[in-house]
Amino acid sequence: MDAHKGAEMFRKVHVPVLGLIQNMSVFQCPKCKHKTHIFGADGARRLARTLDLDILGDIPLHLNIREASDTGQPIVFSQPESDEAKAYLRIATEVVRRLPPPPE
């Protein structure tokens, strides 16, 4: 609901919305690797369709992200080869791809 309101607000004031990110998309048990959608599945995707936006990516709910953030070391620096860091890097790539070219 907040994401919907935010996207609509930005549209009203003519700020481009590059897309949506599904945060805390899935929890994977560190022991058995079972994946659980604690906050439901595909809510951001449904909202993106409603708003005619793209999904830029998914950020998993993972202890490594929280621990790295708590120490002030983003996961992309503290564990750059981890799947969690790669999720952020994929999103960064999508953001850059959608940015307008710099003025000449």
Give residue 60's pLDDT band: very low, low, confident or very high (50, 70, 90): very high
Whether residue 79 lies inside any domain: the answer is yes
Whether residue 68 lies inside any domain: the answer is yes
pLDDT for the residue 2 = 85
Whether residue 56 lies inside any domain: the answer is yes
pLDDT tens digits, 75-101: 999 999 999 999 999 999 999 999 988
Q: Is the pLDDT of residue 39 over 90?
A: no
pLDDT for the residue 29 = 84
Q: What CATH number has the domain bearing residue 69?
A: 3.40.50.300
Number of domains present in the structure of the chain: 1
Q: What percent of the chain is modeled with pLDDT above 70?
A: 100
Contact (Cβ atoms closer than 8 angstroms) between residue 64 and residue 84:
yes
Question: What 8-state DSSP symbol labels residue 101?
Answer: P
User: Within its chain, how far is the Cα of 77 from the centroid?
Assistant: 17
Q: Is the pLDDT of residue 42 over 90?
A: no
- Residue recorded with tokens 């409603």: 50
**Range list of H helices, 1-104:** 2-12, 43-51, 63-70, 75-78, 83-98
Residues spanned by the domain of 84: 17-98
State the Cα–Cα distance between residues 50 and 69, nearest whole angstrom.
32
Whether residue 5 lies inside any domain: the answer is no
State the Cα–Cα distance between residues 4 and 51, nearest whole angstrom.
8
Q: Locate 27 and state its tokens.
A: 């929890």
Give residue 30's pLDDT band: very low, low, confident or very high (50, 70, 90): confident
Q: Whole-number mean pLDDT of the chain? A: 92
Contact (Cβ atoms closer than 8 angstroms) between residue 53 and residue 91:
no
Q: Locate 56 and state its tokens.
A: 């830029």
